[in-house]
Chain A
C-alpha cells in the first residue's frame, strides 16, 4: 500500500522541464523528503501532489486517486504548508484556523475544538486574538502548520518548512513535526538543509534539474556515496588546487572547492597525518562525519546551498 505514487512524472512550462521524469513511492506513516538546490523542481512536484497543478506526462496517484481528476477529494485529505506563508492577513490568528476549517466544509463546533488544540500545539494559545502581521516569522510558520492540520490530514505536504527561521525556531518546528509523525501522519517535505533531512526523513530522494539523482535513507545514502569521515583542509584560495594535485591519492576521493579541499576517508585523522607527511601545511583542518551535503556534492559536483 502506498499513499503517494509517482511514475515518470513530468511538468513542463513551455520549454522548461521543471520536473523531468520523477518516480517515487511513499508508504503510509512514512516521512519522505525531496532534497535539492534552488530550481530543482521540488515545489513543482509538491504542487502536483497537492492537486493544484496538472502534470504534463507520467502517472501520479495520491491516496489511490488521480489528482487531475479528483482534486477536491484529494485536497480534503491533505494538509499543505506552502513555501511562502499565505495566511489570511485580514483575519486574526484564531479566525485563520476557523475559516480554513470552513473551507473544508467541517462543522463549526468541531473546528472550534480543533482550533484550540492546534493553537496549543503551535504554542500560540495566548496569541489567538493577535493580528497575523504581528507574529514573528517562526510563529507564522507554526500557524501555517497548525492551519494545515485543521482537517486532520492523512498526508502533510511541507515545502521548506523551516527556511528563514533561526535555529531555535527550527528545533521547535522539528519537534512538532516529529510528534505528528509519531501519531502516524505521512509527511512529504522538501528542504535544502541536510540536517533537516537527516532529522526528519525516513527516506529521501536527491533531485537536481527535475531528475532524481539518488534515493534511500539518509544513512544509506551517506554509506553508498560517501566515506565515513571527511577531512576539510584549507591552504588559501591560490594554493588549494596545487595542494590537491599533491594529495590525489590520499583517502578515497578528493573534492576541490574554491575555498577548501575535501578529503574523503574512513579515518580522517589518518588522512591528516598523511597530508602533513607530504610536507603540506594546511592553514586550518577539520575532521567531521560525512553528511548529505557530501552525497549531493558527489552526485552533482555542486554544493547544495549556493
Chain B
C-alpha cells in the first residue's frame, strides 16, 4: 500500500464516516422482509433444543436421576441441561440470521451495496443486522424459557435474569457470526460453521459437568464462548449466583465489541474500497 492510500485509510477511520446512527432503518427493513422468510427453518431452530430437552432431560434423566450442582445440591438432570439448551437455542437463532441470511445478502442480494449508497455507514448495517439476529435468538430463548417454566425446571427467581442473559449470548454470537460470514463466498465454506458449532454444542458442559474432563481439556472448554453462556444461564436458573457470573458477562461484552468492530471493518473493506 502506498503512503497516500495509507494516509487516506487513516483519514477515513473516523466513526462519523462509518456510522449514521440509523441502525434502526436496517432493523426495520429486516422486519418487513421476515415475511418472505422460511418459516419451517425458523420453527425447526426453536424446536431442536426442545427435543433435546425432552429426550435427554426427561428420557435419559429418568435413568440418571440427579446431578450435583456447583453449590453441592442435588438437582434433577433435566434442570441441569435445560439452561444449557436455553443458551444453545439463543445461539442457534443468532447464528442462523447472522450467517446464512447474511451470506445470501452479501453474495446474491447485493443488499449492502444498495444500503451503502445511502447515508448509512457500515456500522449501521453491522449493528442493524446483528440486532435482528439477536432478536431471533431472544425469541427462541424466551420461548424455551417458557417451556422450562412449564416443566418446573427454573429453580430460582434469578431465572428471570436468564432472559437478558440470553440476549447477551445472542448478541455475542450474532456479532462474531456476521464477521466470520463476510469471509465466506461458497456454500462449502458455510458448512465449516456447523463443523465448529456441533462439537462446541456437545462439549461445553452442556450435558455433563465440566469436571469430568482432565484439567487441560477443562481449560480448553473454558475458552469456548458457549461454555460461558451455559454457565451464566445455569447459574441463574438454578440459583447458584456468584461474582463468577460477571466474568461470563464480561466475556460476552468483549465478544460483542470485537465482533462489531471486526464486522464493520470487513463491510468497509468489501463495499467501500
Residues of A contacting B36 in the complex (Cβ-Cβ under 8 angstroms) = 90
Q: Is the CB of A57 within 8 A of B4?
A: yes
Contact with A along B193-237 (1 / 0, CB 8 A): 000000000000000000000000000000000000000000000
Interface segment, one of B12-20, B62-70, B91-99: B12-20
Within 8 Å by CB of B17, from A71, A91, A95, A104, lies A71
CA distance A72 to B118 in the complex (A): 7
Contact with A along B83-119 (1 / 0, CB 8 A): 0000000000000000000000000011101111111
Whose C-beta in chain A lies nearest to the C-beta of B128? Answer: A103
Whose C-beta in chain A lies nearest to the C-beta of B113? Answer: A86
Residues of A contacting B25 in the complex (Cβ-Cβ under 8 angstroms) = 99, 102-103, 105
Q: Is the CB of A69 within 8 A of B5?
A: no
Residues of A contacting B271 in the complex (Cβ-Cβ under 8 angstroms) = 52
CA distance A145 to B33 in the complex (A): 22
Contact with B along A139-175 (1 / 0, CB 8 A): 0000000000001000000000000000000000000
CA distance A71 to B14 in the complex (A): 11
CA distance A73 to B17 in the complex (A): 9
- Give B6 Cβ to nearest chain A Cβ, in Å: 11
- Size of chain A's interface in residues, with CB distance under 8 A? 33
Q: A84 in the interface, Cβ–Cβ < 8 Å?
A: yes
Q: B22 in the interface, Cβ–Cβ < 8 Å?
A: yes
Within 8 Å by CB of A68, from B8, B28, B120, lies B8
Q: Is the CB of B119 within 8 A of A76?
A: yes
Q: A53 in the interface, Cβ–Cβ < 8 Å?
A: yes
Q: B273 in the interface, Cβ–Cβ < 8 Å?
A: yes
Residues of B contacting A282 in the complex (Cβ-Cβ under 8 angstroms) = none
CA distance A120 to B248 in the complex (A): 55
Q: B73 in the interface, Cβ–Cβ < 8 Å?
A: no
Describe B's contact surface by its main secondary structure.
helix
Q: Is the CB of B17 within 8 A of A69?
A: yes
- Give B106 Cβ to nearest chain A Cβ, in Å: 12
Q: Is the CB of A88 within 8 A of B272?
A: no
Q: Is the CB of B22 within 8 A of A91?
A: no
Residues of A contacting B9 in the complex (Cβ-Cβ under 8 angstroms) = 54
Q: B43 in the interface, Cβ–Cβ < 8 Å?
A: no
- Give A10 Cβ to nearest chain B Cβ, in Å: 9
Chain A residues 72 to 92 lying within 8 A of chain B, measured CB to CB, are 72-73, 75-76, 78, 80, 82, 84, 86-91
Within 8 Å by CB of A70, from B17, B32, B111, B116, lies B17
Q: B121 in the interface, Cβ–Cβ < 8 Å?
A: yes
CA distance A71 to B36 in the complex (A): 32
- Give A147 Cβ to nearest chain B Cβ, in Å: 8
Within 8 Å by CB of A69, from B11, B119, B120, lies B11
Q: A193 in the interface, Cβ–Cβ < 8 Å?
A: no
- Give A69 Cβ to nearest chain B Cβ, in Å: 6
Q: Is the CB of B121 within 8 A of A86?
A: no
Q: Is the CB of A68 within 8 A of B118?
A: no
- Give A72 Cβ to nearest chain B Cβ, in Å: 5
Whose C-beta in chain A lies nearest to the C-beta of B271? Answer: A52
Whose C-beta in chain B lies nearest to the C-beta of A147? Answer: B114
- Give A212 Cβ to nearest chain B Cβ, in Å: 21
Given A90-B33, A103-B25, A103-B115, the answer on whether A84 and B110 have CB atoms closer than 8 Å is yes
Query: 28 interchain pairs (CB within 8 A)?
Result: A52-B117, A53-B272, A53-B273, A54-B12, A55-B8, A68-B11, A68-B12, A69-B11, A69-B17, A71-B17, A71-B121, A72-B20, A73-B119, A75-B116, A82-B113, A82-B114, A84-B110, A86-B114, A88-B29, A91-B29, A95-B32, A99-B29, A99-B32, A100-B114, A102-B25, A103-B25, A104-B118, A105-B20
